Amino acid sequence: MTEPALLSVKNVSVDLPTPRGNLRAVDQIDLNIGAGRTLGIVGESGCGKTMLSRAILQLLPKKAKLSGRVMFDGQDLVRLDPERLRKLRGRSLAVVFQDPMTSLNPVLTIGTQLIETLQEHLELDSVAAKWRSVELLGAVGIPAPQQRLMQYPHQLSGGMRQRVAIAIALSCEPKLLIADEPTTALDVTIQAQILDLLAREQRRRHMAMILITHDLGVVAGRTDDVAVMYAGRVVERAPTPVLFKKMHMPYTEALLAAIPKIDAAPHAPLPAISGRPPDPTRPIQGCSFSPRCRYAAGRCYREKPLLAASESPDHQYACFHPIQVTAGVCA
């Protein structure tokens, strides 16, 4: 028997009012993730990745309109009252944001922020919470953790701040961790360390994780499944090895081609996706990617393709002219 999904997103859409009209940031998305699994969500900036994560967390802007269902651990988060949501976030559902300087409170010490989280959700006394904080900082690779408790975020490097944010997110042993572009503001060597840290803690704690990024290279080898987003929709979804072996969506192919190659000649220009993403307040009639797609023809400009299964039901894509050749790229 298949275990029920820990998180199930059903037909979720998010609309935002703007001076230029309604903006559909997330468009009828369905996603599932099981306990202990890692899902990568990939796409360009502005494709709706972060707004989808905020819909899951129920942290949308006040005027945003959410439709659909977000089922987490048997509870519909859309219908939960604010107090129950507050207790759930941090305890069972945690998040690591893109910029630790804005997610950490600049006027509170690292220790205060960790200890308050532990006391609020786990009801530990101050002594137990302090020692647990020291253990957490040590677990995420911060040297001299006891001394760091007395420091403020601005006294730490960007990589150290992100490790603190991860320690806070992991402090209450969550069932699901959402990492929203956790390495964007860091240099390459620190990026690898943070991603390795997240992967290690995910396996050790057997928690589910959603890794949001704009880089297909980041999810290769670090996720179980990948969902590729474009213009608010999921346009391809598959197990990670399957996606890299035989992708079908031209947009996925273009994202992979844009990754710098180690064996490329010095100063070689990077392949870029031509054109610009569509204006979300002015949706086009056909496929959203058609103005930038080299395979687009006829029907692509008139109709929106729906997610359809390929050789196996767990590999789906939204394209009238899917790529049929094997990409030959190993994850």
What is the tally of structural domains in the chain? Answer: 2
184: its two tokens:
């964007």
Instruction: Give domain status of residue 301, yes or no.
Output: yes
pLDDT in tens, 245-293: 989 999 999 888 887 777 778 877 877 788 888 888 888 889 999 999 9
Residues sharing a CB contact under 8 Å with residue 86, sequence separation 6 or more, in sequence order: none
Residues of the chain with pLDDT under 70: 1-3, 185, 325-331
| Same domain (yes/no): 114, 185 | no
Looking at residue 227, its pLDDT comes to 96
| Same domain (yes/no): 28, 148 | no
Short-list 187, 221, 180, CA closest to 95: 180
Q: Which of 155, 171, 187 is the last residue of a domain?
A: 171
| Same domain (yes/no): 183, 149 | no
100: its two tokens:
């630790």
Instruction: Give domain status of residue 40, yes or no.
Output: yes
| Same domain (yes/no): 135, 282 | no
Residues sharing a CB contact under 8 Å with residue 328, sequence separation 6 or more, in sequence order: 245
Instruction: Give domain status of residue 101, yes or no.
Output: yes
| Same domain (yes/no): 238, 154 | no
| Same domain (yes/no): 69, 107 | no
CATH number at residue 277: 3.40.50.300
Instruction: Give domain status of residue 141, yes or no.
Output: yes
Looking at residue 66, its pLDDT comes to 96
| Same domain (yes/no): 165, 197 | no
Instruction: Give domain status of residue 228, yes or no.
Output: yes
| Same domain (yes/no): 223, 303 | yes
Looking at residue 2, its pLDDT comes to 59
The domain containing residue 31 runs over which residues? 1-92+177-261+272-331
Instruction: Give domain status of residue 266, yes or no.
Output: no
| Same domain (yes/no): 282, 305 | yes
Per-residue burial over 244-273, b = 16 or more CB atoms within 10 Å of its CB, e = otherwise: bbbbbbbbbbbbbebeeeeeeeeeeeeeeb
Instruction: Give domain status of residue 267, yes or no.
Output: no
| Same domain (yes/no): 131, 181 | no
| Same domain (yes/no): 149, 76 | no
Instruction: Give domain status of residue 99, yes or no.
Output: yes
| Same domain (yes/no): 188, 245 | yes
Looking at residue 41, its pLDDT comes to 96
Q: Which of 150, 171, 192 is the last residue of a domain?
A: 171
Q: Which of 171, 206, 236 is the last residue of a domain?
A: 171
